[in-house]
Structure 1
Amino acid sequence: MLRALRQQLDLSQGQLAQRVGLDRSYINRMEAGERGAPGADVILLIADALKLGAPDTDALLSAGGHPIRALVTLGLDDPTLLALARILTDETLEASARASLRTTIDTVIAHWGKSREAPAPGPVAKRARPSATTLPTAGNGGSR
């Protein structure tokens, strides 16, 4: 994948290596699959040097076994992400409440996409839309 992206820009391995500050042989071994996956920091340097957009950057990160750039940037210990993950995987919470949260998140993502003139991320668009419900609260009989 790296080779194809590099060649689309008509860059040699040496030119890419120079842009990133790595040795040409390192780039060669990565493209040939002769070394383990580089760290997310190296992949992000390469993505920036190639001026890749989010989809290609995320594909490179994924190929290297790393989360998407937004998660790398925020960190997997981001309190908001952790809270969302816990809620969305909490099997003691009614499925309708989790579906309602997903609907709310999808609405925010759709609005963000329109305001940024960017499409919503793929996984959201591919997921079946749950019916609209409300999250339980202390006042309407919810347990959590």
Structure 2
Amino acid sequence: MFCFSAAAHTVGFSHCGKFANRIYNFSPKNPIDPTLNKLYATQLQGMCPRNVDPRIAVDMDPVTPKKFDNSYFRILKEGKGLFTSDQVLYTDSRSKNTVNTWASDPNAFNAAFIEAITKLGRVGVKTGRNGNIRVDCGRFN
């Protein structure tokens, strides 16, 4: 199943430390993730130099960061996905067609997101011992 949380990356930002490995320490052979657009990687390095203040953040969608639209899927095709987990949606044959569809058809993207978020809304909120409100979204408390 396609990860619909990536669709929400059309708005919002991320702190540099959450993707720094892609632009500095991806692997011993490739310091920069080879799936990342080289010009975009250079721009990210300018915005997020080594040892940057951890409060510095970058828009997840550099084209329309404050608009909920299908732009994030268009930039994935250009190698400008901020996170490895998002960029792989375009490089993986199992999800590439979906990225192409959503990149070219805003109505298809909107319809799929509405359907997914409606289903998510029916899951119900876990509370008490069954739930956990995270202080940091990237870690369990």
Q: TM-score, normalised by structure 2?
A: 0.28
**Which structure exhibits the higher relative contact order, with contacts defined as CA atoms closer than 8 Å and separated by 6 or more residues?**
2
Structure number having the greater strand percentage: 2
More helix by share: 1
